[in-house]
């Protein structure tokens, strides 16, 4: 599974990304998790199963729909409690639920 995390500058999502990778490894899940800034989004969609955005990017929801809906890629905003605590395990589970829908 390929998961893309997106935030403003990529720093916060980078830390969360590392924790998600560790959680996937511990659970024996084959997952690729990458963190990017929103300016890179359109260039990074190849083979992506789900895109998760930092909660602070909610103001961009319409723009994100225009980019991702035609590609058929599900997306959601990371729950604030997961993002604020950099909870890789819960964020990974959240991503898996999005893919399984």
**pLDDT for 61-99, tens place per residue?**
999 999 999 999 999 999 999 999 999 999 999 999 999
Among 3, 4, 6, 7, the one annotated catalytic: 7
Q: Residue 51 and residue 80: Cα distance in Å, rounded?
A: 16
CATH classification at residue 31 = 3.40.50.2300
Query: Is pLDDT above 90 for 34?
Result: yes
Q: What is the DSSP string of 8-51?
A: SSSHHHHHHHHHHHHHHHHHT---EEEEEEGGGGGGS-TT-SEE
> In total, how many domains does the chain have?
1
Is there a catalytic annotation at residue 7?
yes
Read off the pLDDT of residues 39-53 as tens digits, 9 standing for 90 and up. 999 999 999 999 999
Range of the domain at 71: 2-100
């Amino acid at each position: 599974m390929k998961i893309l995390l997106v935030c403003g500058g990529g720093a916060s999502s980078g830390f969360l990304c590392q924790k998600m990778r560790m959680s996937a490894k511990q659970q024996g899940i084959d997952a690729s998790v990458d963190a990017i800034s929103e300016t890179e989004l359109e260039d990074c969609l190849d083979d992506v199963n789900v895109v998760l955005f930092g909660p602070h990017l909610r103001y961009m929801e319409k723009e994100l729909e225009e980019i991702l809906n035609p590609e058929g890629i599900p997306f959601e905003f990371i729950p604030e409690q997961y993002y604020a605590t950099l909870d890789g395990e819960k964020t990974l589970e959240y991503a898996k639920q999005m893919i399984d829908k």
